[in-house]
Chain A
Amino acid sequence: MKMRLSAALLLLLVLGATLVLRVTPFDYAFQDRDAIMAPATALHSTGTDELGRDRTVRVAAALLIGLAGATAAAAITTTIAACFGLLAAFSPPSIAAMLMFLSDVFLSLPWFFLLMMARSLLPLTASPLVTAMVTFLVLAALGWPACARAIYRDATALRSAEWMIQGHACGLKTRQLIRLHLVPHLRPLLLPQFLICVPAFIVAEANLGALGLGVGEPMPSWGAMLLELDNSALLARSFWVYLPIALLVVVLLILESFTAEVETYG
């Protein structure tokens, strides 16, 4: 019940954001020079930022970009983790130990620090779209080690299961065993891992953006919108400045609740 409610709320938010982008005549980068830091008006329902850009449109775009980017990054990271974990589980012990050591090297540095470092190494002249793609790709590329360890542990346990031995004895190849038997058994682990990554990546992008290392302007992102909170002149004019952070918290709560339900009830 809770799971359905969370999914419905999330879908509603996505549909709402899409509708806003369709209906509103402005682009997220459009600057209304006559309405800089404007409060809520008939034209700009939640006001504008310091460059006169419509806040509703930017929040809607940030929601869609954040969700799409984080979901894609979570899918990539879960795939990498699954491949890495399965490769280690079906390799000779020495190679498995080396692969797990490699994942430990990644885990030996705090994730956010590693992320920040990797993100900062981009060329200074990268376009907003490139920065957005690279930010989420970096998240995907660095998020897999912990997940890979969990998959390795479970895959190693499943490898010696009786039905796997029987599959082997029946002449199934390792690839077939993995595809037909192991992956379906690992699904209860892979799905929560994927779902955990989505809010984690959204939070990471927001933190990166707040430090000026996230998605480049003028493309809207949660992180860039958090930077608005530093502008005291803007804060004094309109309480709508808090809309992005409020919506971000709501989205994260929905995602976390959905993940918790999936973890509990599969």
Chain B
Amino acid sequence: MPVQVNSIRTRAGAGRLPVVIALRVGRTLLLILCAAAGTILLVRFAPGFFSDSREMDARYAQAARTEIQSENSPQESIVQVVCREFGSWIKGDFGESRQYHVPVADLIGARLQVSALLLVQGILLGWLLALCAALPVSGLRKGGYLWGAPFTLLLAIPTAAMATACILANAGGPILVLSLLITAREFKFLRSLLADAWRAPHLLQGRAQGLSLHALVRLHIFPNIVPQLCALTTLSIVTALGALVPIEAIFTVPGVGQLAWSAVINRDLPVLVAISLLMAFVVGLAGMLATRTLALEAV
């Protein structure tokens, strides 16, 4: 009988699957659009966005400063700005950078590969370190706090300080800093996830039956924690994206994070909005994949 129930559920689930996926994709797209519109709104209403550093330069005469101020003052309403921006994006035009005077798409495109490589390497190394540390520690009955101490210490060091320390010590680089940050963040979650998995009744039975450690991990632990691991991966991507800015700025890595920092310092609206869109897209995509995995589990 349970087999019949399962097959009915599977068939019903298979019917619902395209709807679930379509809803998820639609929601993610809406989220990205809202994030982009929110960025434009934030920028449009920010008190200092339209100010120019030349306004404070004593070499400029008062008349020149007033002219600069009027040049930079917003001419369009918020609806016009949002409509114009969205219209341009549909055509694939992300505007021109205010500081570099080149198309934003070209500017980001050239740096995307550098950041993507850094992100992938940092996250993979971070996860590898976190898993290697969490797997043995999660099985311990005593001393877990002691083994977790280095990771707690890593969590207490700001990313910028970690990056500066690496430069001062002339050791390590952006990948190491990013991976250490990911390791410190994920170790705690992985340890508690794995500790729960070790305590599961079916695992106790498996151990009692003499299954090897390798078989237990491969056949029982990992398949059971895959959905949670997917959710954690999303968290890692968000963490890594956030850390990308200080890491790339301090190590002078010519990536998207450094561009974002430079755009923030120089109040480069088109670049900032385009990077927000890109970040929202990456986070939305990662979130969608993680939630989709969980949704498929439920189906």
Q: Name A's B-contacting residues (CB within 8 A).
A: 101, 104-105, 107-113, 116-118, 120-126, 199, 203, 206-207, 210-213, 222-223, 226, 229-230, 235, 245, 248-249, 252-253, 256-257
Chain B residues proximal to chain A, CB less than 8 Å: 30-32, 34-35, 38-39, 42-43, 46-49, 51, 53, 55-56, 152-153, 155-161, 164-165, 168, 238-239, 241-243, 245-246, 249-250, 260-261, 264-265, 267, 272, 275-276, 279-280, 283-284, 287
Say whether, besides A112-B243, A253-B152, A206 and B161 are in contact (CB < 8 Å).
yes
Q: B153, B239, B246, B283: which contacts A211 (Cβ < 8 A)?
A: B246
- Does B158 lie within 8 Å of A113, measured CB to CB? no
Which residue of A105, A118, A229 is within 8 Å of B161 (Cβ)? A229
Contact check, B153 vs A112: say whether CB atoms are below 8 A apart.
no
Can you name the residue of chain B whose Cβ is closest to the Cβ of A251? B156
Q: Which residues of A contact B32 (CB under 8 A)?
A: 108
Does A230 lie within 8 Å of B265, measured CB to CB? no
Q: A113-B245, A235-B168 are in contact. Are A226 and B160 (CB under 8 A)?
A: yes
User: What are the 7 tightest A-B residue pairs by CB atom distance, in nearest-first order?
Assistant: A121-B46, A210-B160, A123-B48, A112-B242, A110-B242, A252-B156, A120-B264
In the complex, how many angstroms separate the beta carbon of A196 from the nearest chain B beta carbon? Answer: 12
What are 12 pairs between A and B in contact, CB < 8 Å? A109-B280, A110-B241, A110-B279, A112-B246, A117-B276, A121-B47, A122-B48, A124-B48, A207-B159, A211-B261, A212-B265, A248-B158
Name which residue of chain A comes closest to B51, CB basis: A124
How far in angstroms is the closest Cβ of chain B from A256?
Answer: 6
Contact at A111–B242, with CB atoms within 8 Å?
A: yes
Q: How far is the CA of A257 from the CA of B56 in the complex (A)?
A: 45
Complex alpha-carbon distance, A121 and B249, angstroms: 19
Given A118-B42, A124-B53, A248-B158, residue A229 in contact with residue B264 (CB < 8 A): no
Contact across chains for A116 and B160 when beta carbons are under 8 A apart: no
- Whether B48 lies near A108 (C-beta < 8 A) is no
Chain A residue contacts of B276, Cβ below 8 A: 109, 113, 117
